[in-house]
A and B are shown apart, each in its own frame.
Chain A
Amino acid sequence: MFTSPVLPETFHKTQRDLEASSKPLKILSEYFSIDYMKENLPSQSAFLSIQMSEDRLFMYIAYVQISKERKFTYYVSRESLSPDSKDKISGMVTRLAATKVSMQKTPITIAEDLTALEKQSEIEI
């Protein structure tokens, strides 16, 4: 966002008004406290969060499950990623993306075309 002080005040006012009225921005920037979440997350549910570090050296794992009696169980860990496993997972992501593109671009005229394409994709995966 460009916030030069030499800009007229009306520019900043317009910007502020736009931000204040933007519902998507409000949703994206709204954070819930841990107490609120502990109180309001549904029972009998579990949440798994997997995040890679920016340098792709570590994988952060966070897991919480909430029992019917509202008992919380947590698991938090950091796993280091070996170059082999990184290459393997990158290859898998690339292969899946290529298969997706292939399935989207391959012309399908009859039902057998779709069946053959599905079989081919399964083999590739």
Chain B
Amino acid sequence: MEAFFKPVTDAIEPLLNPDGDEPDEAQPTTAGAPSTRGATGKKEDPKKAPAKAPPAAKGAKGQPAAEAALAQYESNLPTTSSGIENVVICVDHRFETLPIESLNVFRKSPVVARDLNLHLHMQRLATVDHKADLHNNRGINKD
């Protein structure tokens, strides 16, 4: 299957995983302190993430502090090196029985899903009232 879909995987590999293989991914993590990779690509320790973010610093230095505080609320899902959290595969019905999710190119994607086509997927998102400008990892703007 890898050989058949090689044109596909060769094309999307540099887009999905631009940094290539990361050696630390293969290394076993120490027990009790599993490290994860956050949406920002920086290493994060889930144990260190507080349930409540600290208050943002005031004044001119507030912006970096606010960003740091916001990072606590970001998803802990390990993302690909391009920062992609989920991949949706819309595949021809003649391939639908094949386990395309198991292709090596998706090895770092935390969520791989399927749908019939992009319009139907958009319809599902519209049904649950998804708003891309609200459902992001950038938090909610103050009034």
Contact = CB atoms under 8 A, between A and B. Distances in A.
B68 interface: no
8 contacts: A27-B120, A39-B132, A40-B122, A40-B126, A50-B92, A67-B83, A73-B15, A85-B3
A46 interface: yes
A44 B95 contact: no
Interface residues of B, number: 45
B123 A47 contact: no
A48 B87 contact: yes
A50 B84 contact: no
Contacts of B85: 44-45
Which are the 4 A-B pairs with shortest beta-carbon distances?
A44-B85, A49-B90, A46-B87, A79-B7
A100 B98 CA distance: 12
A92 interface: yes
Interface size class of A (residues with CB under 8 A): 35 or more
Interface in A18-65: 27-28, 30-32, 36-37, 39-52, 56, 59, 61, 63, 65
Interface of A: 27-28, 30-32, 36-37, 39-52, 56, 59, 61, 63, 65, 67-68, 70, 73, 75, 77, 79, 85, 88-89, 92-93, 96-97, 100
B137 A93 contact: no
A88 B4 contact: yes
B84 A45 contact: yes
A27 B137 contact: no
